[in-house]
Structure 1
Amino acid sequence: MNISKKALKSIILSIIILTLLLVLSGVVEASYKKKLLGNLARDITALNSFQFTDRESTVKSIANRSELSPEELNNMDIYKTLNRAVVNITTKTLSYNWAFEVVPKDSGTGSGSIISQDGYILTNYHIIENVYEVFVTLYDGSEYEGRVVGTDIENDLTVIKFDPKGKELTVIPFGISNDLAIGQKVLAIGNPFGFDRTLTTGVISGTGRPLHNNSGYLMLDMIQTDASINPGNSGGPLLDSTGKMIGVNTMIYSKSGGSDGIGFALPIDSAKRSVNEIITYGEVRRGWIDIDPIELTPALVRYANLKTEKGILISSVIKGGNAWDAGLKGGDKRDAIRYKNSVKYLGGDIITSLNGYKLETISDLFTALQDTKPGESVSLKYIRGNRLIETKIKLSTRKK
């Protein structure tokens, strides 16, 4: 049974006080007073010289590691090596007080992974969305002010930078995620509900899961795991059995708000592309087609009497842009409709695929262009009248 320092001291002190009371009150026979006082002096000496051991030293003092399974040893070694590379991220937002003055207010918490010795941290965008200040707390309790370097909203990623002031940092190495197998062991380290640097383990339950993030973008190829992920774990690393980061813990599927054994992480291969862009340019540069797109709906298909039910209708083409140069056609301004909160034009080309990826929604269009760069060429298929046409188009830079 483990007894804390405080509890053990309290027990010993209680015995000493009780003994003193008995002696001083005369309840104890005179023949025993000398003996009790001698024992009392001994207990006080023992209390002063008592050596307590903390949890960490107790764990380190395991005499025979051969008594532990290889699975346990692997978990322990990875945690011991990498837990210091996981940080707690706290944020503040601006709000109004009773006097309608703007004041900072504690917002939320999350996790992050140190990815370089000079203080770059990888985490989720939704942790720092619309915040006023960001703070980073290391394993030893030291706190630093963080600066948002850049974000990738489509992948729910953010890179934060803090100044370690010469402190040596533990860095989590990147792995690869294109060859993951269902059943493969994974470990998650994070700060669920504020419990710092918590380790949970599990397996990869599925790969290639498409999910929409909080900003509405479709995230492809998400890793599904049964490793327990709870609020506060977001932004922390998902590790393989070699201690390499294979994913960024991002979201859970839950009816209760807690872990129901279905957590999701962004594959590290996707994250690496974003991290390099953010650190270099402060943003993720992606390719774009210079059009005003409209997502086809059943009502729009019926109204315009279209011959296809799925695709991206081109309302207009930017003059002099890449779509203009490629010969794509926008709608007729004489055939205008009210579409949501804007005016759109019917009669334009309908894009059905991009680089072989079928386009049915606006989200599909963003997803198909997610891994592209300005200047690259892509293949488009589109419908004009009764014809299906294929062409190449050189991508421009997507505007924010």
Structure 2
Amino acid sequence: MTVKKLIDFLGWPVVVGLLLGVSVALWLQLEQKRELNAHSDGMHYASLSPSNGNWSGPVSYSEAVNIAAPAVVNIYTRKRSQQRRHPLLDDPLFRHFFNNSDLPQQERMQSALGTGVILSRDGYIVTNNHVIEGAEEILALTYDGREARATKIGSDSESDLAVLKIELDNITPIKVGNPDSARVGDVVLAIGNPFGVGQTVTQGIVSATGRYGLGINTYENFIQTDAAINPGNSGGALIDAHGNLLGINTAILDKTGFSVGIGFAIPADIAVSAMQDLIKYGKVVRGWLGVEAQQITPELAQSFRLDSTDGVIITAIYNNGPAHQAGIRPGDIIIKLNDLMVKNGLLSMNKIARGRPGDKVDVIFLRKGEQHNTTATLGIKPDLQDTAR
């Protein structure tokens, strides 16, 4: 049907109405576009493209891995264990018929695996104490495939750190970073030997810093991360995006033994300090105040007529220890150490332990409601504890 016939059929009024409708629709679309443009004036839209200059993170962490990986070694240990006797061996009837009462308890060798980090060109390696505890043989496998028997230099169960030494040429120590500068959200990489599959790198972020009170070690100050840490990763390196060591991977928060995104690493500065002490003294040297203390509970605060639960109450003093010589007595309530309020007993103990023997500590304490000041000189915790008063 031609246009002329359509017009003749519908009539001019209908055709004109259709044209007007189309014109109005086009006009409304143009007005909406002008309104959107007017509202968008002065607004800035971010782009996800790394080419616009707003991208601060690397696309790949391979360079960081290349820097740190040669300093991470796989550790294999063998320890002798007693094989359990079958219960029937202790049954009188079984012993009577089979005459097996004098069978010796059998021994067998168990193998375990973990990871370590080379911290010096002399071949000193830091790992976890639980990785090598009780081991009769320790073998280190380097990044380039060389094997070496490792000698145990020393260990510290209270921090779960141990130091080994290997005799190899051309080894590369890791670069140590500054854990105090680590911030929540920083990208980190965990390097280790999970399940014995070989060196593996996992990536995550720093989830928290200064974690303590978890009951993992006596002295705790962990870096928390969601980078996957699995069996075999213990003693491995937690590094930053530039390949610097931030911590020694130590534990995960899970009863099954597999990573659920909450792992813990001992800060690198603590590990380095422990290594130096174990090499020089054969043990980790910590500051020691010579007290036993209890956190102030709401009930104790009410009993002592205190306004808050800040502080710790001294329950015992070691004879001739630093606190005893400074005039502190059982029943005193320590409220400040070096002008820092004592709000948590565990945290205060960790701060004292990070001091060195000979350091001076200003102590403010309450005795029978009166405030007193004194200065204590930190000592060395004795191997055999003296009788407390």
Alpha-carbon distance in structure 1 between the residues aligned to 2:111 and 2:303: 50
Q: In the alignment, does 2:381 pair up with 1:381?
A: no
List per-residue Cα deviations over 1:225-268 (Å, max 9, x = no partner). Answer: 22211111111111122211112112222354322222222222
Kept in 1, the 8 Å contact 2:126–2:163? The answer is yes
In structure 2, do the counterparts of structure 1 residues 183 and 322 end up closer, same or farther at CA, with 3 Å as the change threshold?
closer
Inter-partner Cα distance in structure 2 for 1:319 and 1:190: 45
Do structure 1's residue 159 and structure 2's residue 146 form an aligned pair? no
Distance 1:306 1:353 in 2: 17
- Structure number, greater radius of gyration: 2
Q: 1:117 aligns with which of 110, 117, 121?
A: 121
> Which residue among 123, 127, 131 is the counterpart of 1:127?
131
Q: 1:197 aligns with which of 184, 199, 205?
A: 199
What amino acid sits opposite 1:86 in the alignment?
Answer: V
Please tell me whether residue 174 in structure 1 is matched to residue 160 in structure 2: no
Q: What CA RMSD, in Å, does the superposition of the two structures yield over aligned residues?
A: 3.0
Tell me the residue number matched to 1:19. Answer: none
Match of 2:214 in 1: 212
- Equivalent residue for 1:93, pick from 73, 76, 79: 79
- After superposition, the C-alpha distances for 1:63-86 in whole angstroms (9 at most, x for unaligned) are xxxxxxx945x4333334432321
* TM score, norm. by length of structure 1: 0.67
Contact 1:85–1:169 under 8 Å retained in 2: yes
Q: Distance in 2 between matches of 1:76 and 1:296?
A: 47
The alpha-carbon deviation at position 183 of structure 1 amounts to 2.6
2: CA distance, partners of 1:210 / 1:290: 21
**SS state at 2:358 partner:** coil
Q: Which moved more, 1:272-281 or 1:369-378?
A: 272-281
Deviations 1:275-297 (A, max 9, x none): 22222222221121234x14358
Say whether 1:150 aligns with 2:134. no
Contact 1:251 1:265 in 2 (8 A): yes
The counterpart of 1:390, out of the listed 373, 377, 380, is: 373
SS in 2 for 1:136: strand
The equivalent residue for 2:94 is none
The separation in 1 between residues aligned to 2:322 and 2:254, in whole angstroms, is: 43
Amino acid at match of 1:148: K
Q: Spell out, residue by residue over 1:322-381, the C-alpha distance to the aligned partner (whole angstroms, 9 max, x if none).
A: 323211224xxxxxxxxxxxxxxxxx32334433252654x4453131211111111223
Structure 1 partner of 2:244: 244
Q: Quote the offset at 1:102 in angstroms.
A: 7.1
Partners of 2:138 and 2:181 in 1: how far apart? 35
Q: Which residue of 1 aligns with 2:351?
A: 368
Structure 1 residue identity aligned to 2:276: N
**CA distance, structure 2, for counterparts of residue 322 and residue 182 of structure 1:** 37
Q: Please list the CA deviations of residues 148-173 of structure 1 after superposition, one character each: whole Å capped at 9, or x if unmatched.
A: 22234343222111222xx3212211
Aligned to 2:269: 269
Distance across 2 between alignment mates of 1:242 and 1:296: 41
Q: Which residue of 2 aligns with 1:223?
A: 223
Post-superposition Cα deviations, 1:190-238, rounded to whole Å, max 9, x if no partner, equal: 00111111011222233233353534x2412x22222211111111111
- Which residue in the other structure is 1:295 paired with? 294
Q: Compared with structure 1, are the counterparts of its residues 296 and 270 closer, same or farther at alpha carbon in structure 2 (3 Å cutoff)?
A: closer
Contact 1:156 1:213 in 2 (8 A): no
Q: Is the 8 A contact 1:357 1:368 kept in 2?
A: no
Compared CA separation, residues 95 and 297, structure 1 to 2 (3 A): farther
Query: C-alpha distance in 2, partners of 1:253/1:115?
Result: 27
Which whole-Å CA distance do the structure 2 matches of 1:105 and 1:325 have between them? Answer: 51
CA distance change for structure 1 residues 145 and 358 in 2, over 3 Å: closer, same or farther? same
CA contact (8 A) 2:310 2:342 kept: no
Equivalent residue number for residue 77 of structure 1: 63
User: In structure 2, which of residues 334, 339, 342 is the aligned counterpart of residue 358 of structure 1?
Assistant: 342
- Once the two structures are TM-superposed, the CA of residue 393 in structure 1 deviates from its matched residue by 0.6
State the distance in 2 between where 1:231 and 1:247 align: 17
Question: What is the count of residue pairs matched by the alignment?
Answer: 306
Flag the 1:325–1:205 CA change in 2: closer, same or farther, 3 A: closer
Contact 2:293/2:316, CA 8 A, preserved across alignment? no
Conserved 8 A contact 2:68-2:244: no
Secondary structure of the residue aligned to 1:368 is helix
Structure 1 unmatched runs, 5+: 1-69, 331-347
**1:306-334 superposed Cα distances (whole Å, 9 cap, x missing partner):** 5466654444434443323211224xxxx
Distance (Å, rounded) in 2 between the aligned partners of 1:102 and 1:133:
19
Question: Structure 1 residues 324, 261: closer, same or farther in 2, change over 3 A?
Answer: closer
Contact 2:125/2:164, CA 8 A, preserved across alignment: yes
Counterpart in 2 of 1:139?
143
Residues 32-43 of structure 1 aligned to structure 2 (within 5 Å): none
1:352/1:360 contact within 8 Å kept: no
In structure 2, runs of 5+ residues without a counterpart are 1-56, 86-102, 384-389
Q: Taking structure 2 as the reference length, what is the TM-score of the superposition?
A: 0.69
Identity of aligned residues (%): 36
Partner Cα distance (1:367, 1:268) in 2? 16
- Structure 2 counterpart of 1:43: none
**Separation in 1, partners of 2:137, 2:298:** 45
Residue equivalent to 2:53: none
